[in-house]
Structure 1
């Protein structure tokens, strides 16, 4: 009996050692030996606490797929060369379950246990904000591909950079477009949800509009979950604006458009957050959606390409639009949402910066990012050196035309001309569209 116990204990010890050995082997970069005089090939891990379950699961899954597509493209196109070593990228992803406490523990695990130096932030501003101080503590780079809030980059973090456009730039492109088409457009109204994201967007847009010469003739917020905006919109109608920006999320944005139609409040142009970018917006509103615009980080159909980059004097890096679309469809059977494109761009920015720095030291790579500029499937990548905030990427402006979502701004990404002024509500009731 005693011998049996000793035998069982010995088996457990050996089994545990084997398991731990395998785990440690997975955590360490792997090296492929090369003949003397030839470069070595090693694996470089990019960490990703990402929402594969919970409220951000759909966005998280799309983001992870974009990361994998970018990593595969880099690996198939020579990897990352640092000295005599070629690094092949692998994404080490953990499900954060859309929870802040999980994000923080996973960042710590990636930095201390997995020894990962380059981390792709979780999806959403809230989760990215939770991740930032942990990354800063361990001096590992954190690249935000899904956290738009300007607040993240106003905390003095050095190791946190941004790939997507910040909230403060969401409506600026639309205002630029209107002014480019109609310099005489003056009267601007703002009607938006009283939430952190939409407030940040519209407060920045208000100040930018004033710089462009717009007059703010009406501004009002409404609470989250509002079901009737008619009292606000009746006041808006009396102010007689030319242009409207507003909204917050899908439900309220759709309600805003619906009640503008019901009250026959005609505008030359309007841009609503989030809602118009989703196909079900047109499905719900039908012809009423014609001419309504909205900002998006990226859309299928953008015209970013090596040829466009060459005209702008910027280097192109990464898969083409066609290659990216095909890879995503092959993996998922669907077209990629913007979350996939922005996450892919974050991976590409790390690769370019590491090669530029010729180092895996996060501080040196962060320094290399300060004057890094390139174009990818997602558009231009360039940060403000002091804050790490994205300044190169432009939001694209989409507009519903003839029942299709078209990209109308900026010109470098557009696949259609802006429809301006948009048809009146009476014209739309008569069947008018942006192409008729």
Structure 2
């Protein structure tokens, strides 16, 4: 298995890095999590927080109990919520009325899912996907804008996120095969672990020991005046991070 993207559970790292780059005062983080990977996201968030001098208080709740869990959260500087869309929406209607310096929800990138929040959505953070119009230089394959233009011309519709990831998977596989000269699983994996490059989705680099993706960063978007803008990482930002939230 060659991991092209960073694990979904790593997205809070970007939130914490973004806040720390703009705010030296924030110290306390509260994490509300539910679902199969709740333990994993708590563990990864704690590690990222320790590296950035944050203190984390975490709370796990069973699906469908978001309202009760949200009502019990203590005040903190930064709020991070990772759960199913319905649970996040229920929690948001309670929690976003509080004065957090920054707040992030894992499913808040969707305009449809967050439309009912109204003004509460303003300055909310969320993990993004890819940037179809990005002209950021790549060392393997076309830029995102070039890929988008070519795909649209060929198929008559704009590429989906799935199409972009599938294309990049092919790029990495092709590069690994060319390097090792064959298609044997172990040879391809060994070659992939030696690749350090950038594609239209950002950096690709595997941990040589574990094989985990450590190069790719999940973009962080922020809602500003009803539009979501990428605000992290810096080299992919399309807007200035609006901070603090309240």
Q: TM-score, normalised by structure 1?
A: 0.53
Contact 1:191/1:220 (8 A) holds in 2: yes
- Taking the aligned partners of 2:117 and 2:225, their CA distance within structure 1 comes to 13
Out of 32, 40, 55, the residue aligned to residue 215 of structure 1 is 55
How far apart are 1:168 and its partner, in Å?
A: 4.2
Q: Give the match's secondary structure for 1:196.
A: coil
- Taking the aligned partners of 1:253 and 1:327, their CA distance within structure 2 comes to 37
Contact 2:140/2:197 (8 A) holds in 1: yes
More relative contact order, 1 or 2 (CA 8 Å, 6+ apart): 2
Q: Give the match's secondary structure for 1:180.
A: helix
After TM superposition, the structure 1 = structure 2 runs for residues 22-41 of structure 1, keeping only pairs within 5 Å, are none
Contact 2:131/2:144 (8 A) holds in 1: no
Contact 2:136/2:236 (8 A) holds in 1: no
Q: Which runs of 5+ in 2 are unaligned?
A: none
- Taking the aligned partners of 2:123 and 2:48, their CA distance within structure 1 comes to 23
> Partner of 1:245 in structure 2?
80
What do the CA deviations read for 1:108-147 (whole angstroms, capped 9, x no partner)? xxxxxxxxxxxxxxxxxxxxxxxxxxxxxxxxxxxxxxxx
Quick one: structure 1 residues 402 and 200, their matched pair in 2 at CA, closer, same or farther if it must change by over 3 Å?
same
Which structure would you say has the larger Rg?
1
Out of 186, 189, 192, the residue aligned to residue 27 of structure 2 is 186
> Partner of 1:270 in structure 2?
103
> Partner of 2:95 in structure 1?
260
What do the CA deviations read for 1:311-337 (whole angstroms, capped 9, x no partner)? xxxxx1222212322344452634523
Contact 2:132/2:145 (8 A) holds in 1: no
More helix by share: 1
Work out whether 1:176 is the aligned partner of 2:13: no
> Partner of 1:333 in structure 2?
157
Work out whether 1:396 is the aligned partner of 2:219: yes
Contact 1:297/1:394 (8 A) holds in 2: no
- Taking the aligned partners of 1:323 and 1:199, their CA distance within structure 2 comes to 39
Contact 1:304/1:379 (8 A) holds in 2: no
How far apart are 1:279 and its partner, in Å?
A: 1.8
Work out whether 1:375 is the aligned partner of 2:198: yes
